[in-house]
Amino acid sequence: MGKHTGEVAAHFARRAAGYAQHDNWVNDAEALAPIISALQQKPDGTALEIGAGTGAVARARRPYPANGGRLIGVDVTHSMLLQHARHAPAVVGDAHCLPFARGCADIIICRQSVHYFDLPDMVFAEVKRVLASDGRLLIAQIVPFEDPQDEQWWKRAVTLRQPLRRHRWTAAELSESLRGVGFTIESTQELRRRTSLKGWLERYALDPANRQELLDHFRSTPSPVRRLREFAGTGDAVEYSLRWVFITSVPEKPAGD
């Protein structure tokens, strides 16, 4: 089990009741579309989602029923999975030690969850164990733009807003980490979506000092970052762009295969 797994589980247990009601990235149809497309490519297969939460992927998939395929959610927070179970099967489990047999999954999805892994290499090794020989890992993650100022700005914002995150990934860092544990990057897609600081702040309570520091951080955003993210509005009502990446990777084949 990851060192901070209990903290993450407790944090999301406090948020579980209203989590699915947020009109933000969780239920964003455009940000879900690449995942649904990947599931449709294996309509008879078994898919696992690590960090499945209340089941946004399972809900989005329901209008597109698979021909006997299964989607199973995995999460450390039981109260989140109670909602997930209304749409698809779910099990409580730690990504560092997945409760599944070797080679059972055709696709494994990590949507906005890899930043909570204490030991990503251990998780990716577990993913490799559980994936079928022709299986795929799809990581969907919000990351900074490929700009040094934006990377610095975004990582500071995330540190203030989500102190439980273990990692502040860039797209390049994610890809490098996957290659380092024996994955081959098959494809990378990008998507730009709009969001608001107010919505981000309202999702869960922040310490007043942290909240003020985050507001000050946004107010002092450098002009190049404001242009890149297309800032609009002022104060906590500012709207700006997010960058999603969707990285599909496959385990490297052993030499001689």
Mean pLDDT of all residues belonging to the chain? 90
Q: Is the pLDDT of residue 14 over 90?
A: no
Q: What is the mean pLDDT of residues 91-105?
A: 95
Least confident of 101-115, 175-189, 208-222: 208-222
The pLDDT score that the predictor gives to residue 161 is 87
For residue 1, what pLDDT band results from cuts at 50, 70 and 90? low
Give residue 171's domain range.
Answer: 5-145+164-194+243-251
Query: Residue 91 corresponds to which amino acid?
Result: V
Are 217 and 109 in contact by the 8 Å Cβ rule? The answer is: no
Asked if the structure places residue 83 within a domain, the reply is yes
DSSP 217-238: HHHT--HHHHHHTT-BSSGGG-
Higher-scoring residue by pLDDT: 225, 62: 225
Query: Residue 214 corresponds to which amino acid?
Result: L
The pLDDT score that the predictor gives to residue 56 is 92
Could you give the residue ranges of the DSSP H alpha helices within the chain?
5-19, 29-40, 56-61, 78-84, 120-130, 148-161, 171-180, 197-202, 208-219, 223-228
Read off the CATH number of the domain in which 25 is found: 3.40.50.150
Least confident of 3-17, 71-85, 170-184: 3-17
Q: Is the pLDDT of residue 22 over 70?
A: no
Asked if the structure places residue 224 within a domain, the reply is no
Least confident of 41-45, 124-128, 182-186: 41-45
Are 166 and 8 in contact by the 8 Å Cβ rule? The answer is: no
In whole angstroms, what separates CA 85 from the centre of its chain?
Answer: 19
Q: Which residues contact 145 (CB under 8 A, 6 or more apart)?
A: 151, 154, 228, 229, 243
Higher-scoring residue by pLDDT: 169, 1: 169
Q: What is the mean pLDDT of residues 112-116?
A: 94
Asked if the structure places residue 205 within a domain, the reply is no
Asked if the structure places residue 85 within a domain, the reply is yes
Q: What is the pLDDT of residues 32-82, one digit of tens each?
A: 999 999 999 988 899 999 999 989 999 998 766 555 679 999 999 998 898
The pLDDT score that the predictor gives to residue 10 is 83
Q: What percent of the chain has pLDDT over 90?
A: 66
Asked if the structure places residue 218 within a domain, the reply is no
The pLDDT score that the predictor gives to residue 134 is 94
3-class state of residue 1 by DSSP: coil
Asked if the structure places residue 67 within a domain, the reply is yes
Asked if the structure places residue 91 within a domain, the reply is yes
Asked if the structure places residue 226 within a domain, the reply is no
Q: Number of folded domains in the chain?
A: 1
The pLDDT score that the predictor gives to residue 64 is 61
Distance CA 87, CA 27 (A): 14
Q: How many CA atoms lie within 13 A of 95 on its CB side?
A: 32
3-class state of residue 137 by DSSP: strand
Q: Is the pLDDT of residue 256 over 70?
A: no
For residue 215, what pLDDT band results from cuts at 50, 70 and 90? very high
The pLDDT score that the predictor gives to residue 257 is 55
